[in-house]
Amino acid sequence: MTILQRILDHKATLIPSLLENSPFFSVEPKSRPSLYEVLQKADTLQVISEMKRASPSKGLINEGASPIEQAKKYEQAGAACISVLTEDKFFKGSYQDLVDVANNVDIPVLNKDFIIHEVQIDYAKAAGASVILLIVAALSDEKLNAFYTYASVLGLDVLVEVHNEKELGRALAIRPKIIGVNNRDLKTFHLDLAQTEKLANIINEHEDIAFISESGIWTATDAQRVAKAGAQGVLVGESLMVSGNVEEALTALQVPLPSLLKEVK
């Protein structure tokens, strides 16, 4: 069984308790910039910085990190958005992490989770997220479309994640505003930025779509490589979570977007 399937099976066991309880969290109402607009206006690569304690591929990454301190550092360093993993078993995240981050930053906040039921979108919204993630590999076409529409009606931006050309075709069918190409193979955990390059030609044909490269971004060279392919943003977890100097690590990734590609887009 793949790790994605194991994560999804675990998620499925939690849905009944989400449905039994109502999503209520103590969250300050805030009007945040739209991630989509931030990405479309950018002239440097935008960094979506992730609060990630642990992962299936690496085990513990930074278990003791405080979501509030980490998020404040990210915001001060110029992050475009903070991604908060709320998955408990494999990533050691929680909705409380999301609430803490949402209450302490003014930039967009992404709930990074494995959404298989609409109720999770209600929880994401109630816990302060302004963006959710939908993973194409985890959803039927019908659910992908229904969840995208539901989140949009709630005023949430949606990052639609793909791993290959087939998933990209399914994603494009729902006309998403933001697509993320995940460079991590969820079966082998192998990281390869060529994934972003492989799908870039197709995504770059759609100038109204904001293009994110996800996972495995460590250096300015990595950032330049995906920016050259046409990415307007990167989703970065581990390299920032283990950095001794978050500001330096994050600003190094904010490379200029190649002007030639901007004209093409």
Residue 47's nearest CA partner among 234, 200, 207, 228 is 234
- Judged by CB, which is closer to ligand LARABZUK: 32, or 163? 163
Say whether 248 is catalytic: no
Residue ranges binding ligand LARABZUK (CB under 6 A): 3, 50, 52, 55-57, 182, 184, 186, 189, 214-217, 235-239
Say whether 112 is catalytic: yes
Secondary structure of residue 61 in the 3-state scheme? coil
Say whether 161 is catalytic: yes
- Judged by CB, which is closer to ligand LARABZUK: 231, or 235? 235
Nearest distance in Å: CB 206, ligand LARABZUK: 21
Q: Give me the catalytic one of 73, 92, 125, 161.
A: 161
- Judged by CB, which is closer to ligand LARABZUK: 130, or 239? 239
Cα dist from 260 to 40, 41, 188, 219, 257, whole Å:
15, 16, 35, 22, 9
Q: Give me the catalytic one of 50, 87, 167, 197.
A: 50
- Judged by CB, which is closer to ligand LARABZUK: 97, or 260? 97
Q: Which residue is nearest to ligand LARABZUK (CB)?
A: 237
Say whether 69 is catalytic: no
Say whether 214 is catalytic: yes
Residue 106 burial (C-beta neighbours within 10 Å; 0-12, 13-18, 19+): exposed
How far is residue 12's CA from residue 179's CA, in Å, rounded to a whole number? Answer: 25
- Judged by CB, which is closer to ligand LARABZUK: 16, or 189? 189
Q: Give me the catalytic one of 11, 73, 92, 112.
A: 112
Say whether 215 is catalytic: yes
Secondary structure of residue 195 in the 3-state scheme? helix
Cα dist from 46 to 64, 74, 169, 253, whole Å:
26, 12, 25, 8
Residues 6 or more apart from 40 whose CB is under 8 A from it?
A: 210, 232
Q: Give me the catalytic one of 214, 238, 239, 265.
A: 214
Say whether 30 is catalytic: no
Q: Which two tokens stand for residue 150?
A: 């539901």
Q: Give me the catalytic one of 83, 182, 183, 213.
A: 182
The residues carrying an active-site annotation are 50, 52, 112, 161, 182, 214-215
